[in-house]
Amino acid sequence: MGGAAGSRTAGKRDAYALQYSRLNDFRMEHIMLGGAEISGSGPSTGLPRWRQQVQYAVGHTLNDFYSLQPEVRRETPIQFLLERRWPPKGDAFPSLLHYWEVKTAVADELMRIVSVNHLLEVPVLLYEQWHVPVPVLDIELAMIFQLAWHSIVPGRCLSIQKFMVNGNEDVITGFLHMANVFCHQAYGMPAEKVEVYSLLDSRRHIFDGAGIPLQESMDYVRLLSVFLGREESAGKLLKYGVRRSEQEELVHRGYGLM
């Protein structure tokens, strides 16, 4: 599911979107995490394969759980749903002990969170990608929202929740700024709040949507779009035979985002 955000000008937004290159939040995460952990990393994110697999399991487990009606959720242990999605024991994890430690910690934290999280509500956005044009930046902003709820606070649009296996300050900052731009472009108002859960260290980061200056977020997303554009151009040059040292210079010269 997913699509163009908003309702009153959806057709116009679709037409605008054709003019712009798309800036995806998962590309932002790739850049912010890439190179942070090189050993045993997967080909697409820079993360260890075990963490990629666990993040996938967490996202789909939450989708399975919150797709249920509230009265059914109360009778459905999330551990049962997580078991169906959890990666098999294999060489992705550094050891069998690590496998069980991560599985136990994630299951315990998810169980604790969902026991008090919007018990009687149905999410308005659930593991969906939505996109909105940002004409002033010449981009189309695309974001995947794991969970988002209607806000009951006047002048606020959504209460957004993001779940990470491990927290990362750069990823959280990027997500906040992108979500702030998205909410203002799609709804004309800020989010009520943005919550980011870090499952393995049992932390919850809570941000007031109105406390993030829109101009600061616009500037951040503008720089991010330039960063990603240059990174992709450098990747194409490497593909067509540019020496690695030249490609690295193109990627790293003058970005200053982190």
- Please tell me the number of Cα atoms within 13 Å of 62 on its side-chain side: 28
Q: To which H or E segment does residue 85 belong?
A: helix 78-85
Strand pairing class (21-24; 139-150): parallel
Q: What is the pLDDT of residue 18?
A: 57
Distance CA 160, CA 206 (A): 10
3-state secondary structure of 135: helix
Rounded to the nearest 5 degrees, what angle is found at the Cα of 189, between the Cα atoms of 186 and 191?
90
Q: How far apart are CA 23 and CA 199, in angstroms?
A: 27
CB hemisphere CA count around 39 (13 angstroms): 2
Q: What per-residue confidence (pLDDT) applies to 87?
A: 94
Per-residue pLDDT of the chain (258 residues; tens, 9 = 90+): 456 664 333 444 455 445 788 899 988 888 888 744 444 444 445 578 999 999 999 999 999 999 999 999 999 999 999 999 999 888 899 999 999 999 999 999 999 999 999 999 999 999 888 999 999 999 999 999 999 999 999 999 999 999 999 989 999 999 999 999 999 999 999 999 999 999 999 999 999 999 999 999 999 999 998 877 665 555 554 555 544 444 444 333 333 333
Angle at 192 between CA 186 and CA 197, to 5 degrees: 105
pLDDT at 42: 45
In angstroms, the CA 190 to CA 109 distance is 29
Q: Are strands 125-134 and 139-150 parallel, antiparallel or unpaired?
A: antiparallel
Q: pTM of this prediction?
A: 0.80
Residue 244 to residue 34: CA distance in whole angstroms = 17
Structure confidence at residue 32 (pLDDT): 83
The greatest distance separating any two alpha carbons of the chain, rounded to the nearest whole angstrom, comes to 59
**Residue 194, burial from CB neighbour count under 10 angstroms (0-12, 13-18, 19+):** buried
In angstroms, how far is CA 85 from the centroid of its own chain?
19
Nearest to 163 by CA among 136, 189, 198: 198
Q: What are phi and psi of 204, to 5 degrees?
A: -130, 125
**Cα dihedral across residues 106, 88, 34, 64: positive or negative:** negative
Q: Which residue has the tokens 């659930």?
A: 126
